[in-house]
Amino acid sequence: MPWRRAFTLGLVSGAGYFGGTIYWTPAVLQTFGGLDVVLSVCAGALLVAYLALYPALFALVVSRAVRQAGPQGLLVAPAVWVALELARRYVLGGFPWVLLGTSQATVIPVVQTASLVGVYGLSALIVLVSAACVIAVAGRGMLRVAVPAGCVLLVAALAGWGAWRVGEGTLTSSGDEIRVALVQGDIRQDVKWDQGSAARNLDVHLQLTMQAAAQGAQLVLWPESSTPYPFERDPGARAVITEIVRSRGIYLLFGSDQIEDGQPPRYFNSAFLLRPTGEVAAVYRKMHLVPFGEFIPLKSLLFFVAPLVQSMSDFSPGEQAVVMPVAGHRISTAICYEVVYPDLVAEFVRGGSELLTTITNDAWYGSSSAPYQHFEQASLRAVEQGRYLIRAANTGISGIVDPYGRVVRSSKIFERTLVSGTVRFIDRRTVYGRTGDAFAYACALLTLLTIAAAWRGRHAFVR
């Protein structure tokens, strides 16, 4: 296939892939970013076009491999796809949203593969199955039978092992227990920062927290940016919150902005953990900021989103993956979009985290599929690391996910509720927890070797 045709087909496929999954972007930019309809659609289309370049490059490299080696050239497709998903994690600050492997989040036997090779391994498995189907139709000789048969055996083996792993249940039957509660205040985005609603919004969280403590909760989570004003700069709110914590004897983890004085001052999206004494036990500053939500990438080039730039303050990224002390154990939290970065969560676990938490505000996304996408991406982190994951979201979905990716408790979106349950601290490490993204980097190396071999081949790479 000529390189232009391969690239174009990949671009069209990528536009369909990302256009169908992040279709909600223009609505977010229009409603909360201050852009008009035309500019918001243009900005959303630009993001889709950028992301579509990755499938286009995938099609270009794989088509060249097939041109040189025949149908068996498709066997490099899983590695190429994973290499480009890995690249998407880094380029322009990174946007690893809806990686292909996330589609298996609810297929519990298969998703256990993530405990071995992470979400990237699941992506590779899906592409391998697709390649095997093509080889079964277009392959020649023994290849036409051997590759599909081998793929079937591999999937069956992984699913069988995954079912055994879940059935054994070692991770859910050992480790100290703790009772947790997740506060879902359901504060609409248009009133979240309204000065006249501040006291009422805070009271919602306080009332639900007292209810959680009455039910025996030891650790309570509030969502991202749940305090009306920066916790350290609001003496009144700080006094009320610390008094609730002291009187109920609970740990409280919540999101609040943090300001570091200077010229100019620096703003951080942070998570505070309060001890039962009311003292601040630890503060984590968000390390991976949301493009167009907390910072504007390439500001000088994206001049047409000036209203969005003017409507928000640039946040600064945190520099340390802080783990927090709770009841003689250590926990961690990923703030909002950060949870889609498997390497960050792995860093928390390497630092000693025995329980994963994430706090978020998905009110931005309305009733689109984005809150569901976000929740499923978070649940994969539980499987990868073999940890319970608890998630507090302002408007939902809040929930508890066990180390096998099963949802133990969850809320609906746009309801004011409390999600409670018992989880365990776990200190065992999965294979993926020990090796990290070694598989993904091996795929990247194989892809580079494939490109080098094609470049040195008899034909020019782009002929």
Statement to judge: residues 53 and 183 lie in one domain: no
**Partners of 410 in the β-ladder:** 399
Write down the pTM of the prediction: 0.92
**What is the distance, to the nearest Å, from the Cα of residue 248 to the centroid of all Cα atoms in its chain?**
33
Q: What is the CATH number of the domain that holds 222?
A: 3.60.110.10
The answer to whether residue 460 sits within a structural domain is no
For 290, the domain range is 176-426
H or E, element range at 400: strand 399-401
pLDDT surpassing 80 at residue 191: no
pLDDT per residue as tens digits for the range 92-147: 888 999 999 999 999 999 999 999 999 999 999 999 999 999 999 988 888 899 99
The answer to whether residue 431 sits within a structural domain is no
The answer to whether residue 462 sits within a structural domain is no
- Closest Cα partner for 447 from 3, 58, 4? 58
The answer to whether residue 241 sits within a structural domain is yes
Active-site residue set:
224, 286, 336
Statement to judge: residues 295 and 398 lie in one domain: yes
Statement to judge: residues 266 and 311 lie in one domain: yes
pLDDT per residue as tens digits for the range 335-369: 999 999 999 999 999 999 999 999 999 988 888 99
Statement to judge: residues 208 and 279 lie in one domain: yes
The answer to whether residue 224 sits within a structural domain is yes
- Closest Cα partner for 284 from 213, 237, 351? 351
Statement to judge: residues 213 and 303 lie in one domain: yes
184 within 8 A of 395, measured Cβ to Cβ: yes
Statement to judge: residues 447 and 332 lie in one domain: no
The answer to whether residue 310 sits within a structural domain is yes
Statement to judge: residues 451 and 383 lie in one domain: no
Statement to judge: residues 130 and 242 lie in one domain: no
Half-sphere exposure of 5 (CA within 13 A, CB side): 5
The answer to whether residue 461 sits within a structural domain is no
Residues 6+ apart with CB under 8 A from 349: 332, 356, 385, 387, 429, 433
Statement to judge: residues 311 and 211 lie in one domain: yes
Statement to judge: residues 309 and 440 lie in one domain: no
pLDDT for position 30: 78
Statement to judge: residues 342 and 367 lie in one domain: yes
Statement to judge: residues 85 and 223 lie in one domain: no
Domain count, the chain: 2
pLDDT per residue as tens digits for the range 203-242: 999 999 999 999 999 999 999 989 878 999 999 999 999 9
